Amino acid sequence: MIQQFNHLMDYIESHLTEDISGEEISKIVGLSDYHFRRMFSYLAGMPLNEYIKNRRLSSANEELINGAKVTDVAYKYRYQSVEGFSRAFRDWSGYLPSEVVKNKIQKSFPKFSFFIDIRGGKSMEFKIERKEKFNIVGVSKRVPIQFEGVNNAIVELAQSITEQQRKEMHELADLYPHHVLNVSYNFDEEYLEEKGNLTHMIGFATTKENPYEDLEQITVDESLWAIFPNEGPFPKTLQDTMARIYSEWLPSSDYELVNLPGISFSKHNGQFENVYSEVWVAVKKKD
């Protein structure tokens, strides 16, 4: 996998002035575009699109210092207008391209290289389980993406649930874990920059159809699921587990992601020092 990632970095480097398609990326790394982009972001700390943009602007900076015209550089690096390029360049470097040309201001963003960093081993407990198609019935809203700490928008969603809705959800719940699920889906493109929004549902798993107007329903297709139990301070342990799934477990496993909602649940009674949680990630065997 590390070899494929570095091959892709070489490919991107030689195609900075061309369109870089998801199809070509998938071919190089041997993974679906969806799976690779999520894995790349956790390993690299930024989305692939952000990396490509940074490398293009870094190369553009070098050309401007060497005397290239702003207009030529803008169109060479895939911008539709000089104004659009100038805005992006200023956001990235803090300077307008014309200032770089005049004052020879340099800012660089080096090409990434991936390598194996072996540290003290920490095992991850998980199991692979096939689940038939099921429904999740509950309430949902668009919430800001947040990787660490308590997401206040989700807290507000939970607090908005009425007693009648709780009663209806419990009435429909007939599948494990018979407990409140947190379900995330419809991520904005900036997901792994920790920007944008996602749809978050609080609900219960069920085989039944939702008959209630004050509840919503999503259907989750049949799939294999990698299930990661964890226990510790909430929400840190749960969030750390999610990060390790993408940065450690997936790159070394025989599985890749399936584009289905992410699911988790936590069992606590108001005490958050030692909470049992599970993270469910839909997967399939790599081809």
Per residue in 204-244, pLDDT (tens digit) is 999 999 999 999 999 999 999 999 999 999 888 998 898 88
The predicted pLDDT at position 88 comes to 95
Tell me if the pTM is above 0.75: no
Q: What are the residue boundaries of the structural domains of the chain, listed by start?
A: 2-103, 127-285
- What is the per-residue pLDDT across 128-178, written as a single tens digit (0 to 9) for each? 999 999 999 999 999 988 777 778 999 999 999 999 999 999 999 999 999
Which pLDDT band, with edges at 50, 70 and 90, does 195 fall under?
low
pLDDT recorded at residue 116: 57
Q: Tally Cβ neighbours within 10 Å of residue 8.
A: 21
- Residue-level pLDDT at 227: 95
* 151: its two tokens: 């997401």
2-103 and 127-285 agree in CATH topology: no
CA separation for the pair 181, 164 (Å, rounded): 18
20-38 pLDDT, tens digit per residue, is 887 888 888 877 776 777 7
- Helix 22-29 and helix 2-13: axis angle, to 10°? 140
| The residue count for the chain | 287
Q: In the numeric block, which tokens belong to residue 31?
A: 């993974």
Give the 3-state secondary structure of residue 175.
coil
Tokens of 141: 């809203």
**What is d(CA 225, CA 244) in angstroms, rounded to the nearest whole number?**
16
CATH number for the domain running over 2-103:
1.10.10.60
pLDDT band of residue 189 (cuts 50, 70, 90) is: low
| Crossing angle for the helix pair 33-44 and 22-29, to the nearest 10 degrees | 80
The answer to whether residues 172 and 216 touch, using CB atoms and an 8 Å cutoff, is no
Please, what CATH class does the domain formed by 127-285 belong to? alpha beta
